């Protein structure tokens, strides 16, 4: 849209520009798959993935500028505003394209600058308090650091992981929850180097809990399970961990069962396991990919604590499940708080619209169990870093600090509507509107062209 189209020289320039654009795009897109097999960081990976992210912002800008122009064209009666007809002077078209290019470049620059600031600066700290009816009073104030979607890979430096763990520890948390997508490339020297901060940060009183995400399944989940356990992280994939208050210096009294006060942490394997299991031709170590096993895991936990999880009114259960899905059935099975990630808050346009298939895109959600039961919650993190391109649009990297409160009430803190949550609907509406408007413009222009041709035939 930035180059004039009249004359053979301009057509050659436009064709060459298009070919170069698509060539760089596909070469950049290829890095998303190549970097998962690599064991080092090189300029091709760095430039390719970031170019791919820049393309996404360029496409978003061009789409919305063209949509705005198409709507303006409809309002003014479908004139030559968007695509000048053959009888429009070349000078007028050139002036139009210059104005359009200036608007596009300005918006692209704004998008790239805000994205670079968001993605390469420290993630924000999101703080909120969530009341859980089943939480023992002596555990009131228990803090969880949710650090989802780190995506250890070629664009994630060891220093960024050190910073993430440091910021979480500064909040005085009692546990850290890694709800999937810790890894994003095959295990090798580069991944092991990036993982070293986890070994340095091991603290028996502040357990780090992990369950799998779709990206570990992509690159070799068995190897990542080994790395995670070797680095002091507790694997609760289709398993559980009971954090007793006395183990970290809380709830030492004898009244009201304080000695046994605890919080249950349950982890489920990622939802992608249902479709990726045993797909040996597509994913490495696919024979070790497992499906989420809610009933079996909850039954095992019930046997361990001596009562059904769904009926335990003095023990809160926190569920780690990478994909923000199946909130209803998870809460009915006994989950008081589901911690998810995966969506990255939509990440970048137009992926926001794809998150409509989930129970949430970003932020805090709640529901009441059938029969007027306690309120259950789900929090969807936008992720500490994210996959592939280090680029974001209408989303933000975050470390989430969740303080659990005993008893009823309403959550507090950063609980408002997130931009990513709202933008998924905006994206869907704009895509549908764009198709309708452009279809209408093309129809009207074709009708006018036929009418003009018919009128010329009559004059002849």
User: Per residue, what are the HEC states of 406-456?
Assistant: ECCCCCEECCCCCHHHHHHHHHHHHHHHHHHHHHHHHHHHHHHHHHHHHHH
Q: Which residues, 6 or more positions from 317, have their beta carbon under 8 angstroms from its beta carbon?
A: 134, 263, 264, 265, 266, 301, 309, 334, 335, 336, 337
Q: What is the mean pLDDT of residues 100-118?
A: 85
Query: In the prediction, which pLDDT does 379 show?
Result: 96
pLDDT confidence of 460, banded at 50, 70, 90?
low
Q: Which residues, 6 or more positions from 119, have their beta carbon under 8 angstroms from its beta carbon?
A: 385, 386, 390, 391, 392, 397
pLDDT confidence of 78, banded at 50, 70, 90?
low
Q: Which residues, 6 or more positions from 15, have their beta carbon under 8 angstroms from its beta carbon?
A: none
Q: What is the arrangement of strands in the sheet containing 239-244, beginning at the earlier edge strand? A: 239-244, 262-267, 316-320, 337-340, 375-380, 363-368
Closest-CA residue to 130 (of 117, 118, 144) = 144
**What number of H helices and E strands is found in the chain?**
12, 13
Query: In the prediction, which pLDDT does 422 show?
Result: 84
Question: Is the separation of the CB atoms in 228 and 173 below 8 Å?
Answer: no
By CB atoms closer than 10 A (0-12, 13-18, 19+), residue 81 is middle
For residue 2, is pLDDT > 70?
no
Question: Is the separation of the CB atoms in 172 and 206 below 8 Å?
Answer: no
Query: In the prediction, which pLDDT does 39 show?
Result: 53
pLDDT confidence of 129, banded at 50, 70, 90?
very high
d(CA 43, CA 41): 7
Q: Which residues, 6 or more positions from 113, have their beta carbon under 8 angstroms from its beta carbon?
A: none
Question: Is the separation of the CB atoms in 424 and 352 below 8 Å?
Answer: yes
For residue 189, is pLDDT > 50?
yes
For residue 253, is pLDDT > 70?
no
Q: Record the tokens describing residue 459, joined without a space.
A: 């004059």
Question: Is the separation of the CB atoms in 171 and 401 below 8 Å?
Answer: yes
Query: In the prediction, which pLDDT does 80 show?
Result: 47
pLDDT confidence of 341, banded at 50, 70, 90?
very high
Query: In the prediction, which pLDDT does 270 show?
Result: 92
Question: Is the separation of the CB atoms in 400 and 145 below 8 Å?
Answer: yes
Among 87-101, 418-432, 438-452, name the most confident range: 418-432
**Greater pLDDT, 270 or 40:** 270
What SS3 class is residue 145?
Answer: strand
Q: What is the arrangement of strands in the sheet containing 124-132, beginning at the earlier edge strand? A: 234-235, 208-211, 175-179, 142-146, 398-406, 124-132, 412-413
d(CA 458, CA 145): 77
Q: Considering all CA atoms of the chain, what is the largest pairwise distance in Å, rounded to the nearest integer?
A: 104
| Cα 353 from chain centroid (whole Å) | 12
Query: In the prediction, which pLDDT does 195 show?
Result: 84
Half-sphere exposure of 216 (CA within 13 A, CB side): 31
Q: Record the tokens describing residue 180, joined without a space.
A: 């999937």
CA-to-CA dists, residue 225 to 54, 131, 177, 211, angstroms: 33, 32, 15, 9
What SS3 class is residue 256?
Answer: helix
pLDDT digits (tens, 9 = 90+) for 363-374: 999 988 766 567
Closest-CA residue to 237 (of 185, 170, 289) = 289
For residue 3, is pLDDT > 80?
no
Q: Record the tokens describing residue 447, joined without a space.
A: 């009708």
Query: In the prediction, which pLDDT does 42 show?
Result: 59
Q: What is the mean pLDDT of residues 159-184?
A: 90
d(CA 158, CA 160): 5
Query: In the prediction, which pLDDT does 281 show?
Result: 60
Strand partners for 143:
403
**Greater pLDDT, 319 or 92:** 319
Q: What Rg do the C-alpha atoms of the chain give, in angstroms?
A: 26
Using CA atoms in the order 154, 34, 151, 360, what is the torsion angle rounded to 10 degrees? 140
């Amino acid at each position: 849209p930035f180059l004039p189209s009249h004359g053979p020289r301009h057509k050659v320039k436009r064709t060459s520009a298009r070919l170069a654009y698509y060539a760089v795009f596909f070469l950049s897109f290829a890095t998303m798959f190549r970097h998962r097999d690599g064991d080092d960081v090189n300029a091709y990976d760095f430039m390719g993935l970031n170019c791919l992210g820049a393309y996404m912002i360029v496409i978003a800008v061009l789409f919305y500028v063209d949509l705005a122009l198409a709507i303006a064209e409809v309002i003014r009666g479908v004139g030559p505003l968007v695509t000048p007809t053959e009888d429009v002077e070349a000078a007028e078209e050139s002036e139009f394209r210059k104005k359009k290019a200036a608007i596009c470049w300005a918006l692209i620059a704004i998008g790239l600058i805000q994205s670079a600031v968001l993605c390469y600066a420290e993630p924000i700290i999101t703080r909120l308090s969530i009341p859980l009816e089943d939480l023992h009073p002596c555990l009131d104030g228990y803090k969880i650091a949710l650090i989802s979607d780190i995506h250890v890979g070629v664009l994630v430096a060891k220093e960024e992981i050190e910073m993430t763990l440091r910021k979480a520890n500064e909040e005085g948390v009692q546990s850290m929850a890694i709800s999937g997508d810790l890894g994003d490339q095959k295990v090798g020297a580069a991944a092991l180097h990036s993982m070293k901060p986890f070994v340095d940060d091991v603290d028996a009183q502040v357990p780090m809990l992990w369950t799998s995400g779709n990206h570990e399944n992509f690159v070799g989940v068995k190897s990542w399970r080994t790395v995670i356990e070797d680095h002091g992280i507790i694997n609760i994939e289709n398993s559980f961990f009971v954090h007793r208050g006395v183990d970290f210096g809380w709830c030492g009294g004898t009244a009201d069962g304080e000695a046994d006060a605890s919080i249950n942490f349950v982890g489920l394997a990622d939802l992608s396991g249902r479709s990726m299991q045993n797909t040996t031709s597509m994913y490495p170590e696919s024979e070790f990919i497992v499906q989420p096993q809610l009933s079996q895991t909850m039954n095992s936990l019930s046997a361990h604590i001596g009562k059904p999880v769904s009926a335990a009114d003095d023990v809160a259960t926190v569920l780690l499940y990478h994909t923000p899905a199946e909130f209803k059935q998870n809460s009915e099975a006994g989950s008081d708080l589901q911690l998810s990630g995966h969506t990255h808050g939509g990440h970048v346009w137009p992926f926001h619209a794809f998150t409509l298939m989930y129970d949430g895109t970003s932020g805090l959600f709640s529901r009441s169990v059938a029969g007027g039961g306690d309120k259950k919650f789900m929090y969807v993190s936008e992720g500490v870093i994210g996959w592939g391109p280090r680029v974001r649009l209408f989303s933000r990297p975050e470390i989430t600090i969740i303080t659990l409160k005993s008893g009823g009430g309403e959550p507090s803190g950063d609980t408002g509507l997130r931009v990513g949550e709202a933008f998924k609907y905006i994206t869907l509406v704009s895509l549908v509107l764009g198709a309708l408007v452009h279809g209408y413009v093309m129809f009207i222009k074709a009708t006018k062209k036929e009418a003009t041709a018919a009128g010329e035939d009559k004059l002849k």
